[in-house]
Chain A
């Protein structure tokens, strides 16, 4: 059974710092991994999707990497801003049962001005 873990559960850093969020998964048989952010009381906003054949994806100050063989992904946020404060979730789309994305519990990020 695929399991997705995100560490740490919460992270607080001062504005301007670069930071890394971690995501690990137990079964490397995936089609892709997707990073989302969730603001309080809101749905999920898709940030980046990395296909299993890719190593990384970039969007603005965000860079996501994928090491499928070791079951790890990182989300790098450069020059953090208070507006980056949110919960960040990663989700894998498994090869078996591809319609059922498996989510981690999320990392709650706070950027302090």
Chain B
């Protein structure tokens, strides 16, 4: 079956512009995560959605970052007024249930370059 789908795969934008990154999780997966992977850094948690519960936004690095998940499926991560330090690979993952032992399945990521 289809895995986690992310678009675009690559995005180059000018400093100060807004960008939207999209994640389409595996059908039926109720939990959705966004992580950021910067060059030479580990994966950094950004935000978590579980069903209809309020998202855990504690990992968002600044108020320029926001995310939403419509209808419990597709999620959009928005970065406003992009800065060069936002350049990274943004990874989305989903899991089948909120059970802690459900493995995460990742998409291929969106590589964001801010010039």
Contacts and interface: CB of A to CB of B under 8 A. Distances in A.
A98 B111 CA distance: 27
A contact patch SS: strand
Nearest to B109: A43
Interface residues of B, number: 25
Interface string B52-64: 0000101100000
Interface residues of A, number: 24
A43 B42 contact: no
A32 B95 CA distance: 14
Interface string A32-65: 1010100001111110010100000000000000
Contact of B108 (A36, A42, A91, A98): A42
B101 interface: yes
B106 interface: yes
B100 A44 contact: no
Contacts, number: 57
B112 interface: no
B106 A44 contact: yes
Name which of A44, A49, A103 has the most chain B CB atoms within 10 A of its CB.
A44
B45 A31 contact: no
A32 B48 contact: no
Interface in A81-113: 89, 91, 93, 98-101, 103-106
Nearest to A94: B100
Interface of A: 4, 31-32, 34, 36, 41-46, 49, 51, 89, 91, 93, 98-101, 103-106
10 contacts: A36-B106, A41-B111, A42-B108, A43-B109, A45-B106, A46-B103, A46-B104, A93-B100, A99-B56, A100-B45
